[in-house]
Structure 1
């Protein structure tokens, strides 16, 4: 089906280009005014469609307000989870002793080894003596 449509489309485009060139040479003033009127009409139609339908859709042209709320909530949670520790201001020694909690109240923090790292066994006893070559 596409094979017979391609020559027809090229023929129609060629005739359109020929007609535009012919109108530009023979009747320039009316051609230019009709082009300006068509562009103005297209801008008015696009503006009306934009203000009636597309403006209230949200950011990015897609998605609704509920999805934007969910996205903003996820961003907020992510920032809270991965926020950087704030730098502390140095205080005097008296203030430090009063603020410190007892060592018994602290829970020991469990260290977990990184899952992507592994120990490679090797000959650790052999040291290279770089001075004797």
Structure 2
């Protein structure tokens, strides 16, 4: 038995496609060649459009969002520096606190799981698993 069953509808569609391509190759080989070349050119153009232009543009935008403003951009750079100082100050305040947050009296919550007694000697129906 095959691991992947073949759908008869798809088999008919692919069969008709092969017959159509064979017929076009026999009756009009130049038209078939042009059809293949135009399809390849369109596919290559779409591939280049997505990989070179659109993906590059989106990755640059993501980088600029995470990197912060550039140094020579005036007011934005000054506010970014103030933000960085505030973050460093907060980090210093957190590190100067005594002890870690875990040792400050925190305790794990008890779980609310219970054991359910059942028939342990019953055989399981393996057809359902």
Larger Rg: 1
For Structure 1 versus Structure 2, the TM-score category normalised by the shorter chain is 0.3 to 0.5
TM-score by length of 2: 0.38
TM-score, normalised to structure 1, is 0.37
Larger % of helix: which? 2
